[in-house]
Structure 1
Amino acid sequence: MARYLGIDASTQSLTGLIVDSDRQEIVAEASIQYDDYFANSYGVKNGVVDQGDGVVNCNPLMWVEALDLLLNTLRSEGHDLSSVAAVSGSGQQHATVYLNEDALPALAGLTPDKPLSSQLSGIFSHQSSPVWMDSSTTQQCREIETAIGGTEALLKLTGNPAFERFSGPQIRKFFQQEPKAYERTTHIALVSSFIASLLAGSVVPLDPGDASGTNLMDIHRRAWSERALAATAPGLDERLAPIVPSGKPVGVVHPYFISRYGFADGCIVAPFSGDNPCSLIGMGMVEPGQVALSLGTSDTLFACLNEPRPSSSGEGCIFASPDDLHYLALTCFMNGSLAREAIRSQYGLNWASFEDYLAQTNPGNEGKIMLPYFEPEIVPKAPAGIIRRGLGDTEIAANVRAVVEAQAMSSRLHSKWMGVDISSLYITGGASANDEIAQVFANVHGCPVIHGETANAAAFGAALKAYKAHRQELGWSSIVESFLPGNPRQIDPDTATRTIYDDLINKFSELETRSNIG
C-alpha cells in the first residue's frame, strides 16, 4: 500500500491530504486554521497581519508551528504516516522567507524531543514574510522594469510584468530598506520551498511553477535569469536555491519527523510548488485548453497552455506547470472570499443564509451592480473602495447577488487574454461547495461548471506531485485520470440567462471604465 502526502500552506490555513494509489482515492484530510491557533500569538486575521499602507505579512515561525500541529493532527486521527512513500506540497505564491547563517545547522540538527518552533526561532534574518496581498512595492516594480529595459522586456523574459506581490520586488524592497538584514541573509526561500526545507532538514531547490511567480525566472529556460537577478538586488544569485524539475526528488524526510510522527526512513521529499500550479494538477489540468476556477481567499482563473502567452494588458500571469511540460495562464482577483466574507459579515449572515439570499434574487439582479473592492484589487488594478449602481446598502439580498455576479463577470471579462474557449469550467476552493455561487458562474460564462474531487485542489495536486516523484515512469494523464471521478458533479447554465448577462456585463464593464478602473 503506497500513500502520498500533499501539504498546502495557503493564506489562511495549513492543510494535509493523503491519497492512496491502490484505492485511487483521498483517504485523509486535515487543516490547521491560522486564526484559530495563532490570532493572539502572531496577531493574524485571515492568516495575515495587515500593517497598513499596502504592507501585508506574517511571522514565518507561524508556519513552522503549524506544521507540527498538522502532522500531530493527522497522527492523532489515526493515520499511519509510515505508509507515506513521498510528500510534496504547495504554498501561497510569492511569499518570501529570509534565512540567516544559523538556518542550515539548525535544520540539519533537529531533535525530536522539542517542537520545531523552539529549535528554529533564531534562523530568520527578517522576522516577517511579505505575502501575496502586499501591494507596497510599486517603486521597486518600476525600478526593476527600467533596469531590464521596460515592461515589455520583462514580460518577454519572465512571462510577467513586475507585480507588487511578486517576490522580486519584495526582495528589492527588503534590500533597500534593511540592507544590514539583507547582508545577514544567506538563503531566500519561498513559503513552498521553506516548508519543504523543514521536512528535508536542509535548504532545498525550488520548482519552476513557484519560481515563475518571482519576476526572476526565465520563463523559457525555467532557470533563474541573471539579468533579472542583477536588476533586483546584489548577490541574489548566491541567496537563491537552484530551480529543478518539479518531479525530481530533493531529499528525504529528516529523522525528526521519523521519530516524532512515524514517517518511514527514506520517505521522499519532492519539490513543493505554488498553490495555483498545484491546483492546476489537482483539477486534472494537464492538457492544453482546459480551464479551472479556484474560489479561495482570492478568486483565481487558470488555464493550461502549450506555450507561454504573456498578457500584454497586465491582466494575468504566466507560470510553468508542475507537469514540467506545459504552462499556466492565471488571472488573480484579490477580492474573492475576502469580498464574499465582508458582505456576509456586514449583514450578519452565515453561509446558509448567504446562499438563501442568493437564491431569492433573479439572475441579473434587476440591473443592480457593484464593484466589490474591499481590498485593493489586482485585476483590474484598483484601490480599495465599494462602488454601487442602482443598489442601496440596505438591500441585503441584492448586495449578496451583486458581489457574486461582479466576481463572475470580472472573471469572464478579464480572461480573454488567455486565448482559450471556455466551454467548461472546473471549479474548486471553499466557495465551490455553494451551489448557488457555482450556478452564477455557470450562467455568466454560459458553460457547465464541473466540481473537482476536493475543495482542497492545491493539497490534492501536491499529493499527486508526490505520487509522480515516487513513480516517475507514470505519465501525468494516467495519474490524474486514475483519481478524478468518471462522472463528476456538474451544474449546467440556465440558457435563458444568456442575454441577461450579455447585457449586464457591458454595463459592468462601463462602470469599471467610468470609475477609472481597469
Structure 2
Amino acid sequence: MYLGLDLGTSGVKALLIDETQAIVASASGALTVSRPHPGWSEQDADWWIAATREALDRLKSDHATALAAVRGIGLSGQMHGATVLGADDRPLRPAILWNDTRSHRQAALLDADPRFRKITGNIVFPGFTAPKLAWLRDHEPGLFERVRKVLLPKDYLRLWLTGAHFSEMSDAAGTAWLDVENRRWSDDLLAATGLDAAHMPALVEGTERCGTLRAGLAAEWGMGADVIVAGGAGDNAASACGMGAVRVGDAFVSLGTSGVLFAANERYLPNPESAVHTFCHALPAAWHQMGVILSATDSLNWLAGITGRPAGDLSAELGDALQAPGSVSFLPYLSGERTPHNDAAIRGAFCGLGHESDRTALTRAVMEGVAFALRDNLEALKEAGTRLERVTAIGGGSRSIYWLKAIATALGLPVDLPADGDFGAAFGAARLGLIAAEGADPLAVCTAPATAATVEPDAALAGAYADGYARYRALYPAIGGVR
C-alpha cells in the first residue's frame, strides 16, 4: 500500500492506493483560514498536523489493515506558504499562505532586481515565499532575527512525520529562491532577503526518498517500520503526476480554490514577462509552465455566501445548455491576480448590472469570468512558446458541465473528463510514494487515466464568447485605478 497526503487550503486529504494503483480508501480533515486583515491569509501550522491526524485516524478506524501495509508515503501541498521556525523547530508565527498579498511592495522591490527573473525564470509574485520573508524582515524584525528554518507547508508536515528538513524541486521553484534551470538554491537570491543556505531545507527530486516515518507515528497508526517518505510535490505538480501530465504536450485545467492552466515541458522555457510560472516538475529533468488565477471556485463560493445558496445549487440553476455571455461581466480578482496581470491590489467587480440581473445572471457571469481569466492564461502560455491541443479538467469545479462548456468555448479547446476516479494531488502524491519506495520508473507509474467524455467548444457560440472575452479584457484597465 502507498499513502498520499495532500495538504490543501481547506483540508488535508489522505488517500491509499495498492500496488496496482487502485484507490483503496480516502479520508480528510478540515482546515480553516484566518484573515486578520484585508489581503492577509494565514494558517497555524499545528492545524495542519491536527487535520492530518484527523484524516489518518479515520483511515485507521475504517481501513486499519490497509494502513498497516503502507510502504511509501508521498506528500503534496499548497505552495508558497512561509512557515518560519525557531531553533526548536517550532513555528514562530502563523504561516503566511499562497493567497496572501501583504508583501506586494516587497515583491515589487525584489522583482526590480534583475537577478530574480534571470535565475528563477519567474516574476516575483506577492504570493511567493521570498517576499513574505522580506515583509517579516521589514515589519516583524525581532521575529525575523529568530528564524532558523523556512519550510513550505507540506515540508513542515514532512518534518513532523520524519524529523528531517527537506523540500523538493517543484515546490521550491515557487519560493523565488530556486535556480530553476539548475535545480538548486541560489545563494544570491537568499542573501537578497537576508537569508542563507542554512535557513533552507535540503533539496531532493519528488521521486526520491528523504526519510522514514518516525517510529512513534508508525505505531500510532499501526504501520510497520521503515515506511519511506518521498520528496513529493507542490499541489499542481502532484496533480499532474496524478493525471499523467508528465510528458511534453500534456496539459490540464484545474478548477479548485484557485484556477490553473498547466502544461508539461521537457526543458526549461522561461518567459517571466508573460506572468506564466516556469517551475520544475516533480519528476527529474522535467519542467512545467502554468498560468494561475487566484479565485476560481473561490469566486463561486463567494457568490454562494452572498446569496445564501450552496454553490452546487447555483450551478444547477443554469442547467447544462450553454448560453451566450450575458450583459453582466465579472472580474474574478477577489484576492488580486497573477497571470497575466501580476496585480496584488486589483479587486473583483461586476459590471453591466441592471434591474433584470437576477441570481442566475450573476452565476453565469462568475463562471464566464473565470473562463475568460483562464483564456488570459492560455494567451500567456502562447506568448511563452507553449501551444496546447486539448486539456483535461480536474478539481471540484469540473463537476459543473455548464462551467466546462464555458471553458471549452472560451479556450477554443476540447476539455477531456477523466474516467471515474480520484486523480488529483493526493493520488499523485501516492504515486510518488510508490516510486520512491519501490524504485519504480516514474513514466511507467504516472500514466494518464482513460477519458470518460470530452466537452467540445460550442462552435455556434464561439463568436459570442470572443465578444464576451474582448469586453472582459477591456474592463481590467477600466478598473485598474480603483483600489
* TM-score band, normalised by shorter chain: over 0.9
Following the alignment from structure 1 to structure 2, what is the Cα–Cα distance between the partners of residues 460 and 391? 45
CA pair 143-362 structure 1, distance change in 2 beyond 3 A: closer
- Greater displacement, 401-410 / 464-473: 464-473
What does residue range 62-211 of structure 1 map to in structure 2 within 5 Å?
Answer: 62-79=47-64, 80-103=66-89, 123-124=90-91, 126-146=92-112, 149-150=113-114, 153-200=115-162, 202-211=163-172
> CA deviation digits over 1:347-393, x for unaligned, max 9?
23224421232228752234432223333233332522313125558
CA contact (8 A) 1:49 1:57 kept: yes
1:467 to 431, 434, 442: 434
Following the alignment from structure 1 to structure 2, what is the Cα–Cα distance between the partners of residues 144 and 70? 39
Match of 1:13 in 2: 11
Match of 2:229 in 1: 269
What does residue range 56-67 of structure 1 map to in structure 2 within 5 Å?
Answer: 56-67=41-52
Following the alignment from structure 1 to structure 2, what is the Cα–Cα distance between the partners of residues 478 and 283? 13
Would you say 1:228 and 2:193 are equivalent positions?
no
Q: Counterpart of 2:317 in structure 1: which amino acid?
A: Y
Q: Counterpart of 1:189 in structure 2: which amino acid?
A: L
Q: Counterpart of 2:368 in structure 1: which amino acid?
A: E
Match of 1:245 in 2: 205
Would you say 1:512 and 2:476 are equivalent positions?
yes
Q: Flag structure 1 segments of 5+ consecutive residues without an equivalent.
A: 35-46, 104-122
Following the alignment from structure 2 to structure 1, what is the Cα–Cα distance between the partners of residues 355 and 280? 44
Other structure's SS at 1:94 match: coil
1:313 to 267, 270, 273: 273
Following the alignment from structure 1 to structure 2, what is the Cα–Cα distance between the partners of residues 489 and 88? 29
Following the alignment from structure 2 to structure 1, what is the Cα–Cα distance between the partners of residues 221 and 347? 44
CA contact (8 A) 1:361 1:401 kept: no
What does residue range 442-453 of structure 1 map to in structure 2 within 5 Å?
Answer: 442-452=408-418
- Greater displacement, 309-318 / 159-168: 309-318
CA pair 230-288 structure 1, distance change in 2 beyond 3 A: same
TM-score of the pair, normalised by structure 2: 0.92
- Greater displacement, 451-460 / 336-345: 451-460
CA pair 96-372 structure 1, distance change in 2 beyond 3 A: closer
Other structure's SS at 2:27 match: strand
Following the alignment from structure 1 to structure 2, what is the Cα–Cα distance between the partners of residues 447 and 313? 24
1:479 to 445, 452, 462: 445
CA pair 503-67 structure 1, distance change in 2 beyond 3 A: same
Match of 1:424 in 2: 390
**Identity of counterpart residues, as a percentage?**
25
Shift of residue 471, structure 1, vs aligned partner: 2.7
CA contact (8 A) 1:88 1:196 kept: no
Shift of residue 508, structure 1, vs aligned partner: 1.6
> CA deviation digits over 1:315-337, x for unaligned, max 9?
22111000112212111111212
Shift of residue 344, structure 1, vs aligned partner: 2.1
Q: Counterpart of 1:287 in structure 2: which amino acid?
A: R
CA contact (8 A) 1:193 1:273 kept: no
Q: Counterpart of 1:185 in structure 2: which amino acid?
A: V
CA pair 370-129 structure 1, distance change in 2 beyond 3 A: same
Following the alignment from structure 1 to structure 2, what is the Cα–Cα distance between the partners of residues 398 and 468? 47
Would you say 1:406 and 2:372 are equivalent positions?
no
What does residue range 352-501 of structure 1 map to in structure 2 within 5 Å?
Answer: 352-359=312-319, 363-379=323-339, 380=341, 381=343, 383-389=346-352, 394-418=357-381, 419-452=385-418, 454=421, 457-474=424-441, 476-481=442-447, 484-501=448-465
CA pair 465-391 structure 1, distance change in 2 beyond 3 A: farther
CA contact (8 A) 2:326 2:365 kept: no
CA pair 273-365 structure 1, distance change in 2 beyond 3 A: same
Superposed CA RMSD? 2.1
Q: Extract structure 1 runs of 4+ deviating beyond 6 A.
A: none
Shift of residue 183, structure 1, vs aligned partner: 2.8
CA pair 399-384 structure 1, distance change in 2 beyond 3 A: same
Following the alignment from structure 1 to structure 2, what is the Cα–Cα distance between the partners of residues 367 and 225? 49
Match of 2:253 in 1: 293
Following the alignment from structure 2 to structure 1, what is the Cα–Cα distance between the partners of residues 363 and 409? 16
- Greater displacement, 417-426 / 165-174: 417-426
Would you say 1:503 and 2:436 are equivalent positions?
no
2:25 to 25, 28, 32: 28
Following the alignment from structure 1 to structure 2, what is the Cα–Cα distance between the partners of residues 303 and 517? 33
Following the alignment from structure 1 to structure 2, what is the Cα–Cα distance between the partners of residues 405 and 331? 17
Q: Counterpart of 2:25 in structure 1: which amino acid?
A: A
Equivalent residues, number: 474
Q: Counterpart of 2:314 in structure 1: which amino acid?
A: F
CA pair 287-341 structure 1, distance change in 2 beyond 3 A: same
Following the alignment from structure 2 to structure 1, what is the Cα–Cα distance between the partners of residues 356 and 396? 26
Match of 1:44 in 2: none
Q: Counterpart of 1:246 in structure 2: which amino acid?
A: G
CA contact (8 A) 2:267 2:285 kept: no
Following the alignment from structure 2 to structure 1, what is the Cα–Cα distance between the partners of residues 356 and 151? 44
> CA deviation digits over 1:472-492, x for unaligned, max 9?
242x332123xx433433323
Following the alignment from structure 1 to structure 2, what is the Cα–Cα distance between the partners of residues 368 and 487? 34
Following the alignment from structure 1 to structure 2, what is the Cα–Cα distance between the partners of residues 91 and 257? 20
CA contact (8 A) 2:72 2:433 kept: yes
CA contact (8 A) 1:361 1:398 kept: no
CA pair 397-20 structure 1, distance change in 2 beyond 3 A: same
CA contact (8 A) 1:14 1:70 kept: yes
Following the alignment from structure 2 to structure 1, what is the Cα–Cα distance between the partners of residues 355 and 57? 48
Other structure's SS at 2:208 match: coil
CA pair 439-188 structure 1, distance change in 2 beyond 3 A: same
Shift of residue 300, structure 1, vs aligned partner: 1.3
> CA deviation digits over 1:14-45, x for unaligned, max 9?
001111123x31111111122xxxxxxxxxxx
Following the alignment from structure 1 to structure 2, what is the Cα–Cα distance between the partners of residues 455 and 428? 9
TM-score of the pair, normalised by structure 1: 0.87
